[in-house]
Amino acid sequence: MALTAEPAYILHVRPWRETSVLIEALSEQHGRVGLVARGVQGPKKQVLRAALQPFQHVRVDALLRGELARLTAAEAIDAAPRLLGDAALAGFYVNELVLRLVPRGDPFFELYELYGRTRARLDGPHLAWTLRRFERDLLDALGSGFDWSVDADGAPIDPAARYRLDPEQGARRLLSDRGHGERNAAATGRGLLALANDSLPEASDLPGLRHALRSVLTHHLGPRGLKSWEMMAELARVARPDPARGDGA
| Dihedrals phi, psi of 194, to nearest 5 degrees | -65, -40
Distances (CA, A) of 143 to 107, 146, 147, 189: 13, 9, 12, 23
Examine the pLDDT at 35 and tell me if it is beyond 90. Answer: yes
pLDDT tens track for 100-154: 999 998 888 899 999 999 999 999 999 999 999 999 999 999 999 999 999 999 9
**Which pLDDT score, from 0 to 100, does residue 100 have?**
97
Q: pLDDT band for position 241 (50/70/90)?
A: low
Question: Do 58 and 84 contact (CB within 8 A), yes or no?
Answer: no
Q: In whole angstroms, give the CA distance from residue 178 to residue 185.
A: 11
Q: pLDDT band for position 39 (50/70/90)?
A: confident
Q: pLDDT band for position 185 (50/70/90)?
A: confident
pLDDT tens track for 21-31: 999 999 999 99
DSSP 15: E
What is the residue-wise DSSP string for 64-103?
A: EETTEEEEEEEEESSPPP---THHHHHHHHHHHHHHHHS-
First to last CA, the chain: 57
User: Domains, the chain, ranges and CATH?
Assistant: 2-76 (2.40.50.140), 86-239 (1.20.1440.120)
Question: Do 22 and 62 contact (CB within 8 A), yes or no?
Answer: no
> How much is the pTM?
0.89
